[in-house]
């Protein structure tokens, strides 16, 4: 009871850890993917076990924030370094490849930067950016100014348009989470950021705006992705618990073929999550938000509220 009181997320984290492993059985029964192949691609999911290590070890919150900021800086640094070492890179979620027809597909570039998506751990520089900005409002220091600008640059280099604009939107909403005494200070900093973005919008986001406009004028591949994955969740088992993670199997080749066509589950938010992990996982997440996040909202630090 005491543990549940101090760590209200504990039971839900257990569910978030356990539920995806059910997809190993749906992968086997519905897609013929062996348990070993499914488990091999599930290992990164075990990162959630760190939550329980932090509880048992009693890591101080300030130390944990320092660790997150350190990894955020390392991730952005690697992304910058590998811009110059490409094609020799060690850390990349996406790289050049040949599709099943032998056609070479180069690594995507945007605004002059290669998009490596290192482990897709965008939440690290996102949190570090929010935290540094909060500290800047309290007291302007070179340390937090550097962290904020460096993390912004990291997100700009290789993250999706949704992530970039979500980050900017959340920053503009941050004053709403602060006390009246800090509201004007936050509003002042937000006004500076918005002004800079407005003046240099064409330089920073011209290519992004043009791509978005072209997609709106043409058949948007994301609309096709939404339609395909929402209407093809499969059997009752895969609909409830998800189609799972594709490994080195025929299922993996099927997923790769869909991705070569531009149909990515990771690009379509909740619909992609439903296809991947099922309605049970989504319902669990909604319950977590209602029973834990909303109930403890006033005790959550503003950077975490924005995450």
Residue-wise DSSP of 94-106: S--EE-TTS-EEP
User: For residues 127 and 147, is the Cβ–Cβ distance under 8 A?
Assistant: no
Q: What is the pLDDT of residue 1?
A: 39
| Chain position carrying tokens 């059985």 | 25
Q: What is the pLDDT of residue 114?
A: 80
Tell me the pLDDT band of 206, cut-offs 50, 70 and 90. Answer: low
Q: What is the pLDDT of residue 166?
A: 82
Q: What is the pLDDT of residue 46?
A: 86
Q: Is the pLDDT of residue 254 over 60?
A: yes
Q: What is the pLDDT of residue 276?
A: 93
Share of the chain above pLDDT 90, in %: 24
Tell me the pLDDT band of 274, cut-offs 50, 70 and 90. Answer: very high
Q: What is the pLDDT of residue 42?
A: 86
Average pLDDT of 109-137? 82
Average pLDDT of 33-53? 87
Report the C-alpha dihedral over residues 24, 29, 34, 35, rounded to 10 degrees.
Answer: 30
Dist. CA 187–CA 177, nearest whole Å? 12
Which of 49-63, 99-113, 154-168, 237-251 is the least confident region? 99-113
Q: Is the pLDDT of residue 198 over 90?
A: no
Q: What is the pLDDT of residue 160?
A: 75
Q: What is the pLDDT of residue 3?
A: 47
Residues in the chain: 307
Which of 109-113, 151-155, 160-164, 213-217 is the least confident region? 213-217
Dist. CA 211–CA 217, nearest whole Å? 10
β-sheet bridge partners, residue 66: none
pTM across the whole model? 0.78
User: For residues 177 and 305, is the Cβ–Cβ distance under 8 A?
Assistant: yes
Cβ density class 134-171: b for 16+ within 10 Å, e for less: bbbbeeeeeebeebbebbbebbbbbbbeebbebbbebb
Q: What is the pLDDT of residue 195?
A: 76
Q: Is the pLDDT of residue 112 over 90?
A: no
Dist. CA 133–CA 143, nearest whole Å? 11
The two tokens of residue 107 are 């690594």
| Chain position carrying tokens 């619909």 | 271
Dist. CA 285–CA 30, nearest whole Å? 25
Determine the 3-state secondary structure of 258 from DSSP.
helix
Element (H, E) at 225: helix 221-230
Average pLDDT of 60-84? 90
Q: Is 216 exposed, middle or buried (0-12, 13-18, 19+ CB in 10 A)?
A: exposed
Share of the chain above pLDDT 70, in %: 84
Dist. CA 46–CA 263, nearest whole Å? 26
Tell me the pLDDT band of 236, cut-offs 50, 70 and 90. Answer: very high
User: For residues 125 and 154, is the Cβ–Cβ distance under 8 A?
Assistant: yes
| Structure-model confidence comparison of residues 185 and 165, the more confident one | 165
Q: What is the pLDDT of residue 45?
A: 84
Average pLDDT of 98-118? 73
- State the chain's mean pLDDT as an integer: 82
Average pLDDT of 279-287? 95
Q: What is the pLDDT of residue 177?
A: 63
């Amino acid at each position: 009871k005491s543990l549940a009181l101090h760590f209200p997320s504990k039971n839900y984290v257990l569910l978030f850890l356990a539920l995806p492993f059910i997809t190993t059985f749906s992968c086997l029964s519905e897609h013929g993917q062996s348990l070993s192949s499914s488990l091999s691609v599930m290992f990164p999911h075990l990162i959630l076990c760190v939550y329980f290590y932090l509880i048992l070890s009693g890591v101080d919150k300030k130390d944990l924030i320092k660790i997150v900021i350190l990894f955020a800086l390392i991730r952005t640094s690697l992304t910058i370094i590998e811009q110059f070492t490409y094609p020799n890179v060690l850390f990349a979620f996406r790289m050049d490849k040949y599709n099943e027809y032998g056609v070479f597909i180069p690594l995507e570039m945007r605004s002059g930067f290669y998009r490596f998506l290192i482990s897709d751990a965008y939440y690290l520089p996102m949190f570090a950016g929010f935290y540094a900005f909060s500290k800047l409002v309290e007291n302007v220091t070179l340390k937090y100014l550097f962290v904020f600008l460096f993390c912004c640059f990291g997100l700009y280099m290789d993250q999706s348009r949704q992530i970039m604009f979500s980050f900017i939107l959340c920053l503009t909403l941050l004053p709403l989470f602060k006390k009246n005494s800090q509201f004007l200070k936050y509003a002042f900093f937000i006004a500076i950021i918005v002004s800079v973005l407005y003046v240099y919008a064409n330089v920073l986001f011209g290519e992004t705006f043009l791509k978005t406009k072209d997609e709106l004028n043409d058949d948007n591949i994301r609309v096709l992705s939404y339609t395909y994955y929402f209407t093809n969740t499969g059997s009752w088992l895969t609909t409830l618990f998800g189609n799972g993670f594709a490994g080195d199997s025929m299922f993996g080749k099927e997923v790769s073929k869909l991705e070569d066509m531009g149909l990515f589950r990771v690009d379509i938010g909740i619909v992609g999550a439903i296809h991947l992990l099922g309605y049970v996982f989504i319902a669990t997440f909604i319950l977590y938000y209602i029973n834990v996040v909303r109930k403890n909202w006033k005790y959550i630090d503003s950077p975490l509220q924005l995450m």
